[in-house]
Amino acid sequence: MDRHRPALSRWGALLAVPPLAFLALFFLWPVANILALGLAPDGQPRLGHVLETWAQPYVLDTVLFTLALAGLSTLLTLVLGLPAAWVFARFDFPLKRPLRALTVVPFVLPTVVVGAAFLALLGPRNPLDALGTALFGEAFPQVRLDGSVQAILIANVFYNIAVIIRLVGGLWAHIDPRAEEAARMLGASPARTMWEVTWPLLRPAIISAASIVFLFTVTSFGVVLLLGGPRDVTLEVEIYRQTAILLDLPTAAALTLLQMGGVVALLWFSARAQEDLAVQQRLRGSSETARRPRGRRQRLLVALVLTGTCLFMFVPLAVLVERSLAGPGGYGLAAFGGLLEADPRTRLPVAPWHAIVDSLAFAALTTLLAGTLGMLAAVVVGYGRGWFSRGVDTLVMLPLGTSAVIVGFGFLVALDTPPLDLRTSILLIPIAHTLIALPFVMRSVVPVVRSIDERMREAAAVLGASPRRAWREVDGPILARAGLVGAGFAFAVSLGEFGATLFIARPDTVTIPVAIYRLLGQPGAANFAAAMALAVVLMALTTSAVLLIDRLRGGGPQPF
Amino acid sequence: MDRTTVALTLAAGALVLTALPVTAQDKTLTLMTHDSFYLPEGALESFESEHGVDVQLLPAGDAGAMVNQAILTADHPLADVLFGVDNTFLSRALSADLFAPYRSAALAEVPADLQLDPENRVTPIDYGDVCLNLDRAAFGEDGLPWPETLDDLAEPALAGALVVENPATSSPGLAFLLATIATYGEDGWQSYWADLRDNDVAVTSGWEEAYYGRFSGGSGEGDRPIVVSYASSPAAEVIYGADPAAAESPIAAIEPGCFRQIEFAGILRGTEEPELAGALIDHLLSPEVQAELPLAMFVYPARAGVELPAAFAAHALVPAAPASLDAELIDAKREAWISEWTDIVLR
């Protein structure tokens, strides 16, 4: 296939300025400041301490455990996510849109809430254990998974499966099925067609999505603390402890260097692999490629994948809905009614619905900011080649692989002089959310940009279009659609973000996850039910937002 | 204009709007707190109108993270007053020289045993106790034996009954560890915890998982009848429960193993409004605010003679002799104790 692509002109590289300036100011500068405090507390670099820290035996254990956990989580997410991505991209079935929108919900739920659902399903008195005891009496062996590595793995897959379904599915839905049909016609088995035709076309998107999942699990913090045993310590947990609890900045800096070094190396190679593996192809409209499953075997397979995915993803969500309805006085909507007014007994100074309004405002702002900056970065990375575009790609991704606490404390020491004293400004909330949302916008667009067939632009040129017009007619609509996938993620990231917001949120501007956290900080059934009701509202908001964005994106025939 | 242009214009407009500085009204005074800080609406209003000042709250993580942020920003302080440093982090805050001394006149009403800093760099505002909580339904006639001492928790009769929080990641977890150190001494607590481990103690990373996830009493959904929580939790279970007038709480706090946490406020060095900052500390110690503290934060007022709400008086425990340790000793030994505990209980 043709490997030519329109090279990014020198002027085009200027598009990278806004995203790079944003990252330099709100990511590199704060992180450099806090690292400098740790590495050279009195102006003299103390590299000896870094080496001493790295040489401690617990550091090696922690690094190995972190890598194994993230690697295994990514692998499992791929194994479960790819079949689901296939079904959602290639087939039409009833309720497809709402189901696909629902798969994003776990991605936004705060870990405290997911923890509650998983404890109910995996912890003491879980349904499986109860059933066994009911059937076989007390002799039935106790079944429980909470406090184990298995529980962390299950939760990580639960959280990240949407990344695979949407990022890989985003490309898959546009791949022309005729190549596969031709292979089948020539006698290739379905498995061989998948391996030799589909897989090479999808590889860049899979690497792109898998690296996001890997980074997310490397830096996942709440899941490990909540569901893991007390012995399960990842690098991220240790960095948090050294920074926020012990204020041992030299040790925290040494560990952060280790984490960031590994992440940069991984990103550099994954950027390179994506570039090398990209294949230009004729992309089709998603409604042209999806069809109803044909034949008994295919129907069975699709039904199997769908049922499995839905059970795995929706049972924990159903538990949350059940908990939100079960108030202290029996089942009812009392907890939802309570969201309308401030309860003077709880720790929220405002009625919980304020949290809903604030969350939506921050999410809208984040979507605009991350959407704009992310599209610019995606154009530079997607059309460019070589070290510059790879560098931009790595830098945009890096915040996902950096401890939130390091960035947060970096803000405190770096942004402390006017006019940039933003430390107490609520503007920091959309800024922090944008750091996390940017990679999703960029990675939703880049694989698609790289797959655009050059011959389509040539055809447009032959028909008399100027290069600019050809770009606008051919690339523009494809970019806009891919950008909307990213925008949906940006919105969801902002709705669900918790760690950074907790540090920045003011009492009168609380997001939903922060409100949930505050409610669960006190004992009592009323607090628990209100927190669960807010979680259900968060689920509903996310589903509707994603549905709306999917509708905007449409599935109609592409203009080619 | 096409849709993209409209969207971009809107985006730019939104950014410009939000970036505009808020128009300055009165003077403002910033109060840095931990996440659990809460006062009902109105508790600060009389102060604001009397002094013509706007009080901004600045939650900054849990008590430890808050103190660390204050230390990191000591040269350009984020706030004028800090509330919520407790006796386990006090010595770190004092040795970082965060606070300007201030002696509130209201201190005359505060018992001397709460005033830990003779130089008055910090002022005690409230106190609360971390205590063991029991699920009443699991104890009694045909149930488990009610524990009378800490030793009883290590008896086979209570095997698998206790859930505690990890002191490395949880403040009540640390408080309970300190209570055992105060009870058994610096050389005796290790063997006690080895006994607890052999008796199948469960460890969680934070209070939420221990209370809601593992504890069987009250609103807990787990299967362990004893949890490390607060002396006020039985009152909270009634106040937030199905029947706020219930005669008896479904859970009970017990005396052995209680550790007292005292919360202090201090004026951050570098404030431009030292007098207003002092007045805010006076206000926090005023009878008006002190009476609100129990229901707002489930703590006891530092000021003597403040009347407690009925549900609080009826259901919360006030331990007669809670354990305590010297603040400097805690700060010097905390890390060593935690890693020793980790080796004993978790490895």
Q: pLDDT tens-digit profile of B96-115?
A: 999 999 999 999 999 998 99
- Indicate whether B236 and B101 sit together in one domain: no
HEC string of B43-88 equals: CCHHHHHHHCEEEEEEECCCHHHHHHHHHHCCCCCCCCEEEEEECC
Å between B54 CA and nearest CA of chain A = 14
Rounded to whole angstroms, the Cα distance separating B51 from B329 reads: 40
Rounded to whole angstroms, the Cα distance separating A264 from B81 reads: 41
- Which structural domain range is residue A188 located in? 10-39+52-318+335-553
Say how many C-beta atoms besides its own lie within 10 A of residue B281's C-beta.
Answer: 23
* Contact: A124, B214; criterion CB under 8 Å: yes
Task: Record the tokens describing residue A369, joined without a space.
Answer: 């900011």
Helix (H, G, I), strand (E, B) or coil at A95: coil
Would you say residue A227 has pLDDT above 90?
no
Distances in whole angstroms, Cα of residue A176 to Cα of each of A96, A217, A486: 20, 33, 22
Distances in whole angstroms, Cα of residue A295 to Cα of each of A93, A96, A301, B21, B179: 14, 19, 10, 64, 69
Q: Is B10 a domain residue?
A: no
Q: Is A47 a domain residue?
A: no
Q: Is A46 a domain residue?
A: no
* Contact: B219, A480; criterion CB under 8 Å: no
Q: Which amino acid is at A334?
A: A
Q: Is B275 a domain residue?
A: yes
Is the link from the previous residue into A419 a cis peptide, with omega within 30 of 0? yes
**Of B36, B68, B75, which is closest to A521 when you measure between CB atoms?**
B36
Q: Is A5 a domain residue?
A: no
Å between A412 CA and nearest CA of chain B = 7
* Contact: B38, A349; criterion CB under 8 Å: yes
Q: Is A44 a domain residue?
A: no
In chain A, residues 520-539 whose CB comes closer than 8 Å to chain B = 520-528
Total structural domains within chain A: 1
In chain A, residues 416-455 whose CB comes closer than 8 Å to chain B = 416-417, 421, 423-424, 427, 430
Determine the residue among A22, A143, A236, A245 to mutate to test chain B binding: the one whose Cβ has the most chain B Cβ atoms within 10 Å. A245
Pairing relationship of beta strands B162-165 and B202-204 according to DSSP bridges: parallel
* Contact: A345, B240; criterion CB under 8 Å: yes
Determine the residue among A247, A362, A406, A506 to mutate to test chain B binding: the one whose Cβ has the most chain B Cβ atoms within 10 Å. A247
Would you say residue A487 has pLDDT above 50?
yes
| Gyration radius (Cα) of chain A, Å | 24
How close are the terminal C-alpha atoms of chain B, in Å? 66
Would you say residue A147 has pLDDT above 70?
no
Q: Is A4 a domain residue?
A: no
- Indicate whether B161 and B98 sit together in one domain: no
Rounded to whole angstroms, the Cα distance separating A506 from A518 reads: 12
Q: Residues in chain A, how many?
A: 560
- Indicate whether B253 and B324 sit together in one domain: yes
Q: Is A45 a domain residue?
A: no
| Gyration radius (Cα) of chain B, Å | 23
**Of A146, A243, A365, which is closest to B18 when you measure between CB atoms?**
A365
Q: Which CATH number characterizes residue B92's domain?
A: 3.40.190.10
Q: Which amino acid is at A501?
A: T
Q: Which CATH number characterizes residue A99's domain?
A: 1.10.3720.10
Would you say residue A366 has pLDDT above 90?
yes
Task: Determine the pLDDT at residue A518.
Answer: 79
- Indicate whether B251 and B267 sit together in one domain: no
Q: Is B17 a domain residue?
A: no
- Indicate whether B140 and B251 sit together in one domain: yes
Q: Is B287 a domain residue?
A: yes
State the complex-level ipTM.
0.71
Å between B270 CA and nearest CA of chain A = 14
Rounded to whole angstroms, the Cα distance separating A82 from A144 reads: 28
CB pairs under 8 A between A and B: 160
Task: Determine the pLDDT at residue B124.
Answer: 96
- Indicate whether B144 and B52 sit together in one domain: no
Give B109: exposed, middle or buried? Use CB within 10 Å, 0-12, 13-18, 19+. middle
Q: Which amino acid is at B78?
A: L
Total structural domains within chain B: 2
In tens, the pLDDT along A164-178 reads: 998 898 888 888 888
Rounded to whole angstroms, the Cα distance separating A382 from A208 reads: 12
Task: Determine the pLDDT at residue B282.
Answer: 95
Rounded to whole angstroms, the Cα distance separating B291 from A473 reads: 69
Task: Determine the pLDDT at residue A43.
Answer: 78
Determine the residue among A118, A125, A522 to mutate to test chain B binding: the one whose Cβ has the most chain B Cβ atoms within 10 Å. A522
Å between A525 CA and nearest CA of chain B = 5
* Contact: A523, B65; criterion CB under 8 Å: no
A341 chain-B contacts, CB cut-off 8 A: none
Rounded to whole angstroms, the Cα distance separating B166 from B177 reads: 9
Say how many C-beta atoms besides its own lie within 10 A of residue B10's C-beta.
Answer: 12
* Contact: B92, A421; criterion CB under 8 Å: no
Å between A191 CA and nearest CA of chain B = 42
Task: Determine the pLDDT at residue A270.
Answer: 86
- Indicate whether B106 and B149 sit together in one domain: no
Contact A355, A344 (CB under 8 A): no
Q: Is B155 a domain residue?
A: yes
Element (H, E) at B180: helix B171-184
Of all residues in chain A, the percent with pLDDT exceeding 70 is 89
Rounded to whole angstroms, the Cα distance separating A274 from A153 reads: 26
| Torsion angle, alpha carbons of A206, A207, A208, A212, to 10 | 100
A30 chain-B contacts, CB cut-off 8 A: none
Q: Is B15 a domain residue?
A: no
B237 chain-A contacts, CB cut-off 8 A: 523-524
Rounded to whole angstroms, the Cα distance separating B97 from B297 reads: 27
A524 chain-B contacts, CB cut-off 8 A: 218-219, 236-237, 239-241
Rounded to whole angstroms, the Cα distance separating A297 from B101 reads: 79
Give A495: exposed, middle or buried? Use CB within 10 Å, 0-12, 13-18, 19+. buried
**Residue in chain B nearest A410 by alpha carbon:** B72
pLDDT band (50, 70, 90) for residue B18: very low
Give A111: exposed, middle or buried? Use CB within 10 Å, 0-12, 13-18, 19+. buried
A110 chain-B contacts, CB cut-off 8 A: none
In tens, the pLDDT along B308-322 reads: 888 888 888 888 889
In this prediction, residues A219-230 reach a mean pLDDT of 75
In tens, the pLDDT along B137-190 reads: 999 878 899 999 999 999 999 999 999 998 887 889 999 999 999 999 999 999
**Residue in chain A nearest B88 by alpha carbon:** A245
Please report which residue ranges of B73-140 form alpha helices under DSSP H: 90-95
- Indicate whether B251 and B277 sit together in one domain: no
Element (H, E) at B131: strand B123-135
* Contact: B222, A124; criterion CB under 8 Å: yes
Q: Is A260 a domain residue?
A: yes
B72 chain-A contacts, CB cut-off 8 A: 37, 247, 409, 412-413
Contact B136, B251 (CB under 8 A): yes
Å between B38 CA and nearest CA of chain A = 6
Q: Is A543 a domain residue?
A: yes
In tens, the pLDDT along A78-112 reads: 999 999 999 998 899 888 888 888 888 888 887 77
- Indicate whether B180 and B85 sit together in one domain: no
Q: Is B89 a domain residue?
A: yes
- Indicate whether B245 and B183 sit together in one domain: yes
Task: Determine the pLDDT at residue B281.
Answer: 95
Contact B213, A122 (CB under 8 A): no
Q: Is B143 a domain residue?
A: yes
* Average pLDDT score over chain A: 83
- Indicate whether B232 and B114 sit together in one domain: no
- Which structural domain range is residue B137 located in? 129-260+315-345
Rounded to whole angstroms, the Cα distance separating B32 from B11 reads: 33
Closest by alpha carbon to B163, among B132, B184, B193? B132
* Contact: A412, B73; criterion CB under 8 Å: yes
A147 chain-B contacts, CB cut-off 8 A: 202, 204
- Indicate whether B179 and B254 sit together in one domain: yes
* Contact: A230, B346; criterion CB under 8 Å: yes
pLDDT band (50, 70, 90) for residue A506: low
Q: b/e per residue, B132-142, with b = 16+ CB within 10 A?
A: bbbbbebbeee
Task: Determine the pLDDT at residue A449.
Answer: 84
Contact A236, A219 (CB under 8 A): yes
E strands in A192-276: none
* Contact: A524, B211; criterion CB under 8 Å: no
Give the max Cα distance, chain B: 80
In tens, the pLDDT along B276-296 reads: 999 999 999 999 999 999 988
